[in-house]
Chain A
Amino acid sequence: MKKYIQDAGLGEIYDKVAAAQRLSFKDGLNLYRCPDILAVGYLANMVRERINGHNAYFIYNQHINYSNICTNLCKFCAFGRKKEDELAYEMSVEEVKDKVRQRLDEPIVEIHMVGGIHPDLPFSYYIELLEGIKEVRPEVHIQAFTCVEIAHLAGLRGKSIEETLEELREAGLGSLPGGGAEVFSSRIRERTCAEKLSGADWLKVSKAAHRSGFNTNATMLYGHIETIEERLEHLEALRAAQDETGGFLAFIPLAFHPKNTEMASISSTSGIDDLRNIAVARLYLDNFPHIKAYWVMIGPKMAQIALSFGADDLDGTVKEEVITHMAGAETEQAIGSDTLIRLITEAGRVPVERSTLYDVIAVHTN
């Protein structure tokens, strides 16, 4: 096995990984450039098993996208709409509560809620959303509002990030998802999402949230116009932030879906690139507890394989996924927990149903 890794030119990195040493930027480049995905995956699997054993996590959650109206209109996005667009929508607080109410008979432990940067919904709307969900389902954990939305909400409130987060916490916010990170590089942001919160500010909001006692996730949108160096700079910045605060739970590489976006001429990501981003992230982000293979993005088949290439989490049962499907995702919109359990078990892992904060709810062994 080691010989195969050495033949792939990764002998030195193998030694570092075996000794649990931190990888350098140059190591990261070598991993991204190594044509041998099996060798890269094997190394990532070493780290994955060291940190998470054979556990493969999933969560029973409900996705709610309260509105697609957005002033940012990023070029890689097929979800966001101008307010006057015929496909624009926004849910009232009552509609969101109804969505939660309709699924009260299911063992949902997390509401995952994000939306666009809405031009005129007031701060009180967001507070009422959180309070409304908690009113219908008091015990549920609400993971909501990306750093981009949090910065927008702080602007609406006219208070600091920390003070705003405190008010959101009181209304029911439990943690932050990892969206809006895209690729931190200002070159990429200027070309794809010039209106969006900068990479540096995204990290500032994350760290502020961590210092306020929130856990958050981090993502990277790959497979558009970013270079390998820019991907690694992104990972490097996340690793440094995590060294400071330790508040990130999971890193989630997101495959760019070009359909219906302004960047539709770009090809979809390939399977090897999907696995490579998971594997390199697992190797590079040595201080992140979890790496997620989000099956909605890469398909259940690849997500299952990813469990041997660094990933330890498949996200959730996810019904009504909208954002990726508007960009032409051909995956199913929902997978039942029985299917997730089967995929995990078959791949030789232990299916662990978790809470948002990775508390174990059930271990599904037959």
Chain B
Amino acid sequence: MIEEISSRVLAGERLDDKDFLALEAGADLHQLGFLADSIRRKKHPERVVTYVIDRNINYTDICISACKFCAFFKTPESSDGYLISKAELKQKIDATLALGGTQILLQGGLHPDLQLEYYEDLVAFIKSCGINVHGFSPPEIFHFSQISGLSIGTVISRLIEAGLDSIPGGGAEILTDRVRNLVAPRKCSADQWLAIMEEAHGQGLRTTATMMFGHVETTPERLEHLRRLRELQDRTGGFTAFIPWPFQPDNTVLHDHRTNMRTSGWQYLRMLALSRIYLDNFDNIQASWVTQGPKIAQLSLFFGANDFGSTMIEENVVAAAGVSFRLPEQEIRRLLEEGGFTPRQRLMDYRPAHPAENSG
């Protein structure tokens, strides 16, 4: 069974849901690694692993969503929340540019009072500093639409007008409504998340897609998540990369139920490989060193990943959940080289940041 599926994978055939479930249940770590690695080699024969230099800026931690897996947010009633000032923003952007950064990953909580004009101004300000804006995950876009009473399409086109370059794939969590109702009931639905990405792709924006797994979801629900992404990608081709990462339980409401269930490196590598195998229409799969640490992240390059994500000059959300790995650019390059790969800085859309850099 596994052998038969493997030979179809190696022949470049698309796997159906039954195949996925058979691999998930029956393939061992080596088999999944071999398959995922073979696909990575086909898609990226040049043994280059890319990364982006950017900074996560969270404009606010005030959020009405109160998701149970989140350790970052503050409620609007709490007095501890913040909203970033322009002076602070400018200082963070300048520091990013000084480190060779090419974009700001701009995300924040769902703030109850701020209007769309605030976000337009935020984007325009960042752009005026000479750096790209990879910003506003679908739940934020949805929230802006609710606040403004404008359609999703209008919100996106106004943000593009203000200078938005691309949209990060956050807030996908698990794209089934059962899971969302359990862990993030106030966040946009699975259908809405996908519709926003489809609209963004239609307006010419590239986006990424994420999956946060290892909490209350079942294996068929992980599969449903991947299937819906693959279907949308077939329609639009707008996703640049898929980024799976495991739920980090510390300081979250879900923690109490899951104390002994922190996703292990073994589960992470399996899910990463299965994603690489199933998502045949995604060019790039990102490793998550932020949650896995440098050692497992390096190993993930043999389990389907061809991208090391961001240098994350700043990261607040995962750190709030008790995990804080730090990797400067030089350390990332060393890990990639020691793994036998050529490191290359890229932009959001995976073009080289320095086009002159030897393509070998």
Contacts and interface: CB of A to CB of B under 8 A. Distances in A.
Contacts of B339: 270, 272
Contacts of A62: none
Interface in B27-45: 28-31, 33-34, 37-38
A346 B267 contact: yes
Interface in B316-360: 331, 334-335, 338-340
A150 to B, nearest CB: 34
A299 B34 contact: no
Given A302-B265, A346-B267, A1 B295 contact: no
B298 interface: yes
A270 B298 contact: yes
Contacts of A302: 265, 295-296, 299
Nearest to A339: B260
Given A271-B295, A272-B338, A308 B28 contact: yes
B360 to A, nearest CB: 16
Contacts of A274: 295
A270 B295 contact: yes
Contacts of B297: 271
A88 B346 CA distance: 49
A35 B267 CA distance: 24
Interface residues of A, number: 31
Interface in A250-279: 267, 270-275
A298 interface: yes
Contacts of B295: 270-271, 274, 298-299, 301-302
A86 interface: no
The 8 tightest CB contacts between A and B, nearest first, are A271-B295, A301-B265, A35-B340, A271-B298, A270-B338, A38-B33, A271-B299, A308-B29
Contact of B31 (A1, A35, A273): A1
Interface of B: 28-31, 33-34, 37-38, 260, 264-267, 269, 292-299, 302, 331, 334-335, 338-340
B70 to A, nearest CB: 23
Interface in A32-64: 35-38, 41-42, 45
B299 A4 contact: no
B30 A38 contact: yes
Nearest to B299: A271
Residue picked from B260, B266, B295, most chain A C-beta under 10 Å = B295
Contacts of A1: 30-31, 34
A301 B264 contact: yes
A38 B41 CA distance: 13
B267 A308 contact: no
A123 to B, nearest CB: 42
B299 A37 contact: yes
A348 interface: yes
